[in-house]
């Protein structure tokens, strides 16, 4: 038997019963007419959550990392100049993918715990007017920082670049307006603010991004991630679709229900719920003299980074919470490893009473 856990780490988040019930429905074929209707529902509600009219919007059959990979392998060719903004672990992963493709990578780096600096991006664009793509992490899961996606995208678009944004920890939990902000490729994960089961990557491509992918001089270097092959399976909307792969049928049942819950709640209300829960958590932790290293105006509501007091054993606290309270919180990554905890209030857990619950548990564990 798998034990129940209260999941307050960086993801996955706890999955609502309605989503688990959807997951448990009978498995049907991935080309069954009923399943194709499910896919259409997923696409429609995903467009709503991304706030986009992009025709090529779907859910990839793998975790958020496949969304990152698909974003770059479709829009970046060997020799293309790409500016990657790095202020945590996941910007570094973007850089690695682009280097593997053979792109010329220019990095714009900021200190961990701070957002991407628009002035630095502006300077990089002026110094590299032949840049093809700008990429950044909207919500950096390793540091609990939210960058100004709207401003960064505007700078990139003024320079004639495609814009790629990682929204793994922001989709449906933080304001995100794909079309209004002129974001070209945006990907996320199922297990964070959507509170769906892990293993799926929502993604959307603008018409400009699809045009770049379809007019490449070289083949997309990943068969599985090639949007030219994926789109006819996911996007047709008619009785015939071109087989691409066996989709994770039951996981997409769950995704349809998770998206329905988000759409029914309404995005502004959902964003506000995440903010209110985070503000309660911040108030409680600071009242207990715990330090939050990210400046208030840049904090990411779904994920809070907490500095570990110098006299406290990181692993011992996390183990105590897990074994005595069945609570998971996250360890620090990269430069924050051993120095910080990551506490998620995402999706179903983004509530004031849940903020109080995890605050009480953490403070008691330090006693």
Q: Return the DSSP state at 169.
A: T
Exposed/middle/buried for 232, CB within 10 Å: 0-12, 13-18, 19+? middle
Residues 6+ apart with CB under 8 A from 316: none
Q: Average pLDDT across each block of 10 residues of the chain; the chain has 367 residues. List them in order.
A: 96 98 97 92 97 96 96 98 98 98 98 98 98 98 98 98 98 98 98 98 98 95 94 68 90 98 98 98 98 98 97 96 98 95 98 98 94
**3-state secondary structure (DSSP) of residue 57:** strand
pLDDT of residue 312: 96
Q: What is the Cα–Cα distance from 156 to 125, expressed in whole angstroms?
A: 8
Handedness of CA 24, 28, 31, 35 (dihedral sign): negative
pLDDT of residue 238: 52
pLDDT of residue 291: 97
Joined together, the tokens standing for residue 315 give 């692993």
pLDDT of residue 88: 97
pLDDT of residue 231: 86
Domain 17-263 coded CATH 3.30.450.40? no
Q: What is the Cα–Cα distance from 335 to 99, expressed in whole angstroms?
A: 22
**3-state secondary structure (DSSP) of residue 310:** coil
Handedness of CA 207, 253, 15, 9 (dihedral sign): negative
Q: Locate CATH 3.90.1150.10 in the chain.
A: 6-12+267-366
Domain 6-12+267-366 coded CATH 3.30.300.20? no
pLDDT of residue 31: 87
Q: What is the Cα–Cα distance from 286 to 292, expressed in whole angstroms?
A: 7
Q: Locate CATH 3.40.640.10 in the chain.
A: 17-263
Joined together, the tokens standing for residue 37 give 């209707």
Q: What is the Cα–Cα distance from 224 to 244, expressed in whole angstroms?
A: 8
Residues 6+ apart with CB under 8 A from 51: 176, 177, 178, 179, 180, 267
pLDDT tens digits, one per residue of 304-318: 999 999 999 999 999
First-last CA distance in the chain: 32
């Amino acid at each position: 038997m798998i034990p129940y856990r209260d999941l307050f780490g960086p993801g996955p988040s706890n999955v609502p019963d309605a989503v688990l019930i959807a997951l448990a429905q009978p498995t049907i074929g991935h080309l069954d007419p009923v399943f194709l209707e499910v896919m259409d529902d997923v696409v429609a509600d995903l467009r709503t959550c991304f706030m986009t009219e992009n025709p090529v919007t779907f859910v990839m059959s793998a975790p958020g990392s496949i969304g990152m990979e698909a974003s770059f392998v479709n829009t970046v060719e060997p020799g293309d100049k790409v500016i990657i903004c790095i202020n945590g672990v996941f910007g570094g992963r973007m850089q690695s993918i682009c280097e593997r493709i053979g792109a010329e990578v220019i990095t714009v780096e900021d200190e961990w715990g701070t957002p991407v600096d628009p002035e630095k991006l502006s300077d990089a664009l002026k110094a590299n007017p032949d840049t093809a793509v700008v990429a950044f992490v909207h919500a950096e899961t390793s540091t609990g920082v939210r960058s100004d996606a709207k401003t960064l995208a505007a700078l990139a678009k003024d320079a004639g670049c495609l814009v790629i944004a990682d929204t793994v920890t922001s989709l449906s939990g933080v304001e995100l307006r794909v079309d209004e902000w002129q974001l070209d490729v945006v990907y996320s994960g199922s297990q964070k603010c959507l509170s769906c089961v892990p293993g799926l990557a929502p993604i959307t491509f603008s018409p400009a991004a699809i045009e770049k992918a379809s007019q490449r001089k070289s083949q997309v270097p990943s068969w599985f991630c090639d949007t030219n092959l994926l789109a006819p399976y996911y996007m047709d909307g008619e009785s015939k679709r071109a087989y691409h792969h066996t989709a994770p049928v039951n996981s997409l049942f769950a995704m349809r229900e998770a998206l329905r819950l988000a759409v029914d709640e309404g995005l502004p209300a959902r964003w506000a719920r995440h903010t209110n829960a985070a503000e309660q958590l911040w108030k409680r932790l600071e009242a207990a003299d715990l330090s939050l290293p990210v400046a208030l105006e840049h904090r990411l509501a779904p994920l809070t980074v907490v500095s570990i007091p110098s006299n406290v054993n990181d692993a011992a606290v996390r183990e105590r919470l897990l074994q005595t309270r069945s609570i998971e919180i996250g360890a620090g990554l990269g430069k924050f490893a051993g120095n910080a905890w990551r506490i998620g209030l995402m999706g179903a857990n983004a509530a004031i009473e849940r903020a109080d619950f995890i605050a009480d548990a953490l403070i008691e564990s330090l006693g």
